[in-house]
Amino acid sequence: LATREGIFSGVSAGGAVASAIELSKQVNNAVIVTIICDRGDRYLSTGVFKT
């Protein structure tokens, strides 16, 4: 999300967006919404965002 959309979020937000994308492949003519409620800065010290 950070690289493609500029959204710096946590891992759970990535999972939510991935699920929404997969759902959109199965459903026609639907509006699919997901809520990103996790910031990525909380994970900077964990090594999740290695460069």
> Digits of tens for pLDDT over the chain (51 positions)?
878 888 888 888 889 999 999 999 999 999 999 998 877 777 777 766 666
Segments forming the whole domain that contains residue 23:
2-43
Question: Does residue 49 belong to any structural domain of this protein?
Answer: no
Question: Does residue 37 belong to any structural domain of this protein?
Answer: yes
Q: Nearest 5 degrees, angle CA 5-CA 39-CA 31?
A: 50
- Can you give the pLDDT at residue 42? 74
Question: Does residue 11 belong to any structural domain of this protein?
Answer: yes
Overall number of domains in the chain:
1
Question: Does residue 18 belong to any structural domain of this protein?
Answer: yes
- Can you give the pLDDT at residue 34? 92
Half-sphere exposure of 30 (CA within 13 A, CB side): 12
- Can you give the pLDDT at residue 30? 92
Of 4, 6, 8, the C-alpha closest to 49 is: 8
Question: Does residue 27 belong to any structural domain of this protein?
Answer: yes
- Can you give the pLDDT at residue 1? 81
Please indicate, yes or no, whether the overall pTM of this predicted structure exceeds 0.75.
no
Question: Does residue 13 belong to any structural domain of this protein?
Answer: yes
- Can you give the pLDDT at residue 51? 63
Number of helices (H) and strands (E), helices first, in the chain?
2, 0
